[in-house]
Chain A
Amino acid sequence: MPRETPVRIVDELASRGYNTDREAVTLLADAPDTDAAIERALEAVPDDAVKLSVEDVRDVLETNAGNVDRSRGRSDTHSSSDSGERDPSVSSGDPSLESSHDRGAVPPETEGVESGSGDGNRTRRERDPSEPAIAGDVTGRSTGTGEYEDFVAVFRDRYEKLSGQLRGRVNHRPTSAVESMPGGSEAAIVGMVADIRSTANGHWLIDLEDTTGTFPALVMKDRDMADLVDDLLFDEVIAVEGTLADDGGILFADSIHFPDVPRTFEPSTADRAVSAALISDVHVGSQEFDADAWNRFAEWLHTPEADRVEYLLLAGDMVEGVGIYPDQDEELDIVDIYDQYEAFAEHLKAVPGDMEIVMIPGNHDAVRLAEPQPAFDEELREIMSAHDARITGNPSTVTVEGVDVLMYHGVSLDEVIAELPEDHASYDHPDRAMAQLLKKRHIAPQFGGHTRIAPEERDYLVMEDVPDVFHTGHVHKLGYGSYHNVLTINSACWQQQTSFQESVNIDPDVGYAPIVHLDKLDESDASDFLTIRSFG
Chain B
Amino acid sequence: MREEDERYFARLEDELDRAMDVAREARERGGDPTTDVEIPVAKDMADRVENILGIDGVAERVRDLEGEMSREEAALALVEDFVEGSVGDYDTKAGKIEGAVRTAVALLTEGVVAAPIEGIDRVEILDNDDGTQFVNVYYAGPIRSAGGTAQALSVLVADYARTLLDIDEYHAREEEIGRYVEEIELYDEDTGLQYSPKDKETRHIAENMPIMLDGEATGDEEVSGYRDLERVDSNSARGGMCLVMAEGIALKAPKIQRYTRQLDDVEWPWLQALIDGTIGEDTDDEPEEADASDADEPDDVEDAPDETEGPPRADPSKKYLRDLIAGRPVFSHPSESGGFRLRYGRARNHGNATAGVHPATMHLVDDFLATGTQIKTERPGKAAGVVPVDTIEGPTVRLANGDVRRIDDPEEAKEVRNGVEKVLDLGEYLVNYGEFVENNHPLAPASYTLEWWIQEFEAAGADVQAMEDSVEIDLDDPTPAQALEWAREYDAPLHPKYTYVYHDVSVEAIDALADAIAEGEIVTGDGAAAEPPAGKEATETATTGDLVLPRSETATRTLESLLVEHTQTDASLIVPTWRPLVETLGFADGLSRTWTIEDLSERARGYDDGDNAIEAVNEIAPFDVRERAPTRIGNRMGRPEKSEERELSPAVHTLFPIGEAGGNQRDVAKAAGHADEMGDAPGEVDLEVGRRRCTDCATETYQARCPDCGGTTETVYVCPDCDREVEPDESGRAECPRCETLASPTRTTTIDVGEVYQQAMESVGEREVAFDVLKGVKGLTSEEKTPEPMEKGVLRAKHDISAFKDGTVRYDMTDLPVTSVRPAELDVTVEQFRELGYEQDIRGDPLVHDDQLVELNVQDVVLSDGAAEHMLKTADFIDDLLESYYGLEPYYELEDRDDLVGELVFGMAPHTSAATVGRVIGFTSAAVGYAHPYFHAAKRRNCDGDEDCVMLLLDGLLNFSVKYLPNQRGGRMDAPLVMSSRIDPAEIDDEAHNIDIVEEYPLELYEATREMAHPEEVDVKIAEDTLGTEDEYTGFAHTHDTSNIALGPDLSAYKTLGSMEDKMDAQLEISRKLRAVDETDVAERIIEYHFLPDLIGNLRAFSRQDVRCLECGEKYRRMPLTGTCRECGGDVNLTVHEGSVNKYIDTATRVAEEFGAREYTKQRLEILDRSIKRVFEDDTSKQTGIGDFM
A370 touches B178 (CB 8 A): no
Q: Which of A208-216, A253-261, A432-440, A516-524 contacts B (4 or more CB under 8 A)?
A: A208-216
Interface residues in B1134-1185 by Cβ distance below 8 A to A read 1134, 1137-1138, 1141, 1159-1160, 1163-1164, 1167-1168, 1170-1172, 1174-1181
A155 touches B1121 (CB 8 A): yes
A159 touches B1117 (CB 8 A): no
A155 touches B1122 (CB 8 A): no
A448 touches B1117 (CB 8 A): yes
- Residue B791 is within 8 A (CB to CB) of chain A in the complex: no
Would you give the shortest CB distance from A249 to chain B, in whole angstroms? 15
Would you give the shortest CB distance from B39 to chain A, in whole angstroms? 39
Q: Which residue of B lies closest to A366 (CB)?
A: B1167
- CB-CB contacts of A154-197 with B at 8 A, as 1s and 0s? 01100100000000000000000000000000000000101100
- Residue B1120 is within 8 A (CB to CB) of chain A in the complex: yes
Residues of A within 8 A of B837 (CB): none
Residues of B within 8 A of A59 (CB): none
How far does the alpha carbon of A503 sit from the alpha carbon of B184 in the complex, in Å? 11
Partner of A234, one of B1117, B1170, B1174: B1117
Q: Which residue of A lies closest to B1177 (CB)?
A: A145
B1118 touches A234 (CB 8 A): yes
A505 touches B182 (CB 8 A): yes
Residues of B within 8 A of A454 (CB): 1103, 1174-1175
How far does the alpha carbon of A367 sit from the alpha carbon of B1167 in the complex, in Å? 7
- Residue A221 is within 8 A (CB to CB) of chain B in the complex: no
- Residue A535 is within 8 A (CB to CB) of chain B in the complex: no
Q: Which of A13-21, A81-89, A310-318, A329-337 contacts B (4 or more CB under 8 A)?
A: A329-337
Would you give the shortest CB distance from A342 to chain B, in whole angstroms? 14
B1104 touches A337 (CB 8 A): no
How far does the alpha carbon of A451 sit from the alpha carbon of B1105 in the complex, in Å? 11
How far does the alpha carbon of A290 sit from the alpha carbon of B1177 in the complex, in Å? 37
How far does the alpha carbon of A99 sit from the alpha carbon of B225 in the complex, in Å? 31
- Residue B1106 is within 8 A (CB to CB) of chain A in the complex: yes
Residues of A within 8 A of B1180 (CB): 140-143
Residues of B within 8 A of A505 (CB): 178, 182, 225-226
Residues of B within 8 A of A156 (CB): 1121
B1121 touches A146 (CB 8 A): no
Interface residues in B216-234 by Cβ distance below 8 A to A read 222-228
Interface residues in B1070-1118 by Cβ distance below 8 A to A read 1092, 1096, 1099-1100, 1102-1107, 1117-1118
B1121 touches A148 (CB 8 A): no
A145 touches B1176 (CB 8 A): yes
- Residue A322 is within 8 A (CB to CB) of chain B in the complex: yes
- Residue B1133 is within 8 A (CB to CB) of chain A in the complex: yes
A211 touches B1164 (CB 8 A): no
- Residue B1123 is within 8 A (CB to CB) of chain A in the complex: yes
Residues of A within 8 A of B1121 (CB): 152, 155-156, 159, 192, 209-211
Q: A144-B1175, A145-B1176, A504-B182 are in contact. Are A366 and B1170 (CB under 8 A)?
A: yes
- Residue A265 is within 8 A (CB to CB) of chain B in the complex: no
- Residue B1126 is within 8 A (CB to CB) of chain A in the complex: yes
Residues of B within 8 A of A447 (CB): 1104, 1117-1118
- CB-CB contacts of A286-301 with B at 8 A, as 1s and 0s? 0000000000000000
Interface residues in A111-166 by Cβ distance below 8 A to B read 140-149, 151-152, 155-156, 159
Residues of B within 8 A of A337 (CB): 1163, 1167
Residues of B within 8 A of A453 (CB): 1103-1104
Q: A142-B1174, A322-B1167, A418-B224 are in contact. Are A152 and B1104 (CB under 8 A)?
A: no
B1178 touches A144 (CB 8 A): yes
A336 touches B1175 (CB 8 A): no
A503 touches B182 (CB 8 A): yes
Residues of B within 8 A of A149 (CB): 1123
Would you give the shortest CB distance from A414 to chain B, in whole angstroms? 8
Residues of B within 8 A of A422 (CB): 228
A322 touches B1160 (CB 8 A): yes
- CB-CB contacts of A199-212 with B at 8 A, as 1s and 0s? 00000000001111
Q: Taking chain A's interface residues, is the majority helix, strand, or loop, or is none over half, making it mixed?
A: loop
- CB-CB contacts of B213-255 with A at 8 A, as 1s and 0s? 0000000001111111000000000000000000000000000
B1171 touches A367 (CB 8 A): yes
Q: Which residue of A lies closest to B1106 (CB)?
A: A448
- Residue A46 is within 8 A (CB to CB) of chain B in the complex: no
- Residue B1119 is within 8 A (CB to CB) of chain A in the complex: yes
Would you give the shortest CB distance from B722 to chain A, in whole angstroms? 14
Residues of A within 8 A of B225 (CB): 503-506
- Residue B50 is within 8 A (CB to CB) of chain A in the complex: no
- CB-CB contacts of B39-64 with A at 8 A, as 1s and 0s? 00000000000000000000000000
B1119 touches A152 (CB 8 A): yes
How far does the alpha carbon of A16 sit from the alpha carbon of B1104 in the complex, in Å? 61
Residues of A within 8 A of B1178 (CB): 142-145
How far does the alpha carbon of A151 sit from the alpha carbon of B1164 in the complex, in Å? 27
Residues of A within 8 A of B508 (CB): none
A323 touches B1092 (CB 8 A): yes
How far does the alpha carbon of A374 sit from the alpha carbon of B1173 in the complex, in Å? 12
- Residue A343 is within 8 A (CB to CB) of chain B in the complex: no
- Residue A377 is within 8 A (CB to CB) of chain B in the complex: yes
Would you give the shortest CB distance from A198 to chain B, in whole angstroms? 15
Partner of B1118, one of A194, A212, A506: A194
- Residue B199 is within 8 A (CB to CB) of chain A in the complex: yes
- Residue B1132 is within 8 A (CB to CB) of chain A in the complex: yes
B1119 touches A155 (CB 8 A): yes
- CB-CB contacts of A417-455 with B at 8 A, as 1s and 0s? 010001000000000000000000000000111011110
Would you give the shortest CB distance from A197 to chain B, in whole angstroms? 12
Q: Which residue of A lies closest to B1131 (CB)?
A: A148
Would you give the shortest CB distance from A534 to chain B, in whole angstroms? 25
- Residue A509 is within 8 A (CB to CB) of chain B in the complex: no
Interface residues in A65-98 by Cβ distance below 8 A to B read none
Which among B178, B1122, B1177 has the greatest number of chain A C-beta atoms within 10 A? B1122
B1163 touches A368 (CB 8 A): no
Would you give the shortest CB distance from A19 to chain B, in whole angstroms? 40
Q: Which residue of B lies closest to A160 (CB)?
A: B1121
B1174 touches A367 (CB 8 A): yes
- Residue A320 is within 8 A (CB to CB) of chain B in the complex: no
A418 touches B1100 (CB 8 A): no
Would you give the shortest CB distance from A377 to chain B, in whole angstroms? 7
Interface residues in A480-536 by Cβ distance below 8 A to B read 503-506
How far does the alpha carbon of A147 sit from the alpha carbon of B1134 in the complex, in Å? 8
- Residue B336 is within 8 A (CB to CB) of chain A in the complex: no
Q: A234-B1117, A452-B1100 are in contact. Are A213 and B1175 (CB under 8 A)?
A: no
Would you give the shortest CB distance from B280 to chain A, in whole angstroms? 16
How far does the alpha carbon of A209 sit from the alpha carbon of B1119 in the complex, in Å? 11
B1160 touches A146 (CB 8 A): no
- Residue B121 is within 8 A (CB to CB) of chain A in the complex: no
Residues of A within 8 A of B1177 (CB): 142, 145
How far does the alpha carbon of A348 sit from the alpha carbon of B1112 in the complex, in Å? 56
How far does the alpha carbon of A208 sit from the alpha carbon of B1172 in the complex, in Å? 33
Would you give the shortest CB distance from A139 to chain B, in whole angstroms? 8
A146 touches B1119 (CB 8 A): no
B228 touches A452 (CB 8 A): no
B1118 touches A235 (CB 8 A): yes
Partner of A368, one of B228, B1138, B1174: B1174
Q: Give me 7 A-to-B residue pairs in the complex whose CB atoms sit less than 8 angstroms apart, sorted by A's number.
A: A142-B1177, A151-B1134, A152-B1119, A155-B1118, A323-B1096, A323-B1164, A414-B224
The 9 A-B pairs of least Cβ separation, nearest first, read: A452-B1103, A505-B225, A323-B1164, A368-B1174, A504-B225, A368-B1171, A370-B1103, A151-B1119, A146-B1176
Apart from A151-B1107, A151-B1119: 9 A-B pairs, beta carbons within 8 A: A142-B1178, A142-B1180, A155-B1118, A322-B1164, A370-B1175, A374-B1174, A374-B1179, A448-B1104, A452-B1100
Q: Which residues of A contact B (CB under 8 A)?
A: 140-149, 151-152, 155-156, 159, 192, 194-195, 209-214, 234-235, 322-323, 329, 335-338, 366-370, 374, 377, 414, 418, 422, 447-449, 451-454, 503-506
